Structures are given as C-alpha cells and as structure tokens.
Amino acid sequence: MWKRDEAVKPTSQPTPAAPVASNVQPSVPAVQQAEPRRIERDLVNIGKSVVIKGELSGSEDLTIEGQVEGKIELKEHLLTIGPNGRIKAQVFAKTVIVLGEVNGNVSASEKVEIRDGGSVDGDIVSPRVAIAEGAHFRGSVDMQKKGGSSSTSASTSSSVKPAPAPTVAQAAQPAAH
C-alpha cells in the first residue's frame, strides 16, 4: 500500500475556507500576500448597525451599509451606498454607486450609478449618470458639461442617424387633422 509522505507536502497550499485575513502564511509568495492587504486597506465600511448624524467627510473610498443623516463629502473618491445603506443626506463624491436608498441631492464630479434595487429621491448633478432597470429614481438629472453651457441645436444636428430599418415593427403615416 502506498503511504503518503507528509514531509513533501507543499507549505503554500491554499486553504479556501479560511478568511482572507488569516490566510496569509509565511511561505506564500510576496505578490500573493500583498493583494489581500491592499484590499483591506482600501475598503472602508460603515456597517449595518451604524447610524451617523452630521457631516461625514473623508479621503478614501467608502461603502455605507448603515444610516447616515446630514452630509457626505468624499470629493475625490468613490462612495458606494450598499444594499442596506439608508442615506438622508446631501452627497458629494467623485463617483457614487447606489444599491440602497438615498434621500437627498447627489453631486458627483465623475459618475452616478443607480443599480438594480437602488433608489434615489433627489436631484443628481453629474456629467455621467447610469440608471439600471429596476432602479427607482425621482428627481432631476443635470449632466452639466465642462466648458460652458450646451445648446441642443448643435447636438441634435449631429445626432441624427439613419434609421435601422430591419428592426422596425411599424411604419408611421401622417394622420388626417
């Protein structure tokens, strides 16, 4: 009968069920070690049970799963409102991703995303806005352009495209007045 030699078992074998933080072993190569630590440092969470009333500001990316009332300011960073997040606040960030609920105006210098199940009641100001199917939104969207106001006359003339004929289900005809 073959007998396994425990001594030759590689020491860097991963332990999948173990949590990320405790998975770091001395024998793991340096590159593999660095990745979980970096993630740990960059992701800052406000947990489900946390309630904050007042002004919240920071200089790193933030995920909120709890409740915040007041003002949130992360001007150069990503703010994620998690599925459990409940926000009653004015929000200022570089990018805002909403999976939970926001009651208040949202201003982002880069992008606002309302994902499926996310809800925003308030006005959005951002150059890019993405609203997913299944998202709730009530308010206004102002996709301000850098470098002056935009007039529809220029954009409409350039946006006229030929009709994609094969997919058309019906043709229109003028009605008698």
- CA 111 vs. chain centroid, Å, equals 9
Number of residues that bind another protein (CB under 8 A): 41
Select the span of 6-14, 16-24, 82-90, 159-167 touching another protein (CB under 8 A): 159-167
In order of 80, 104, 138, the CA distances from 49 in angstroms are: 16, 21, 27
Alpha carbons within 13 angstroms on the beta-carbon side of residue 175 total 1
| Exposure class string for 111-133: b at 16+ Cβ within 10 A, else e | bbbbbeebbbebebbbeebebee
* Using rule CB under 8 A, residue 92 touches another protein: no
* Using rule CB under 8 A, residue 161 touches another protein: yes
* Using rule CB under 8 A, residue 133 touches another protein: yes
* Using rule CB under 8 A, residue 160 touches another protein: yes
* Using rule CB under 8 A, residue 140 touches another protein: yes
Cβ of residue 167: shortest distance to another protein, in angstroms? 5
Select the span of 14-22, 48-56, 71-79, 166-174 touching another protein (CB under 8 A): 166-174
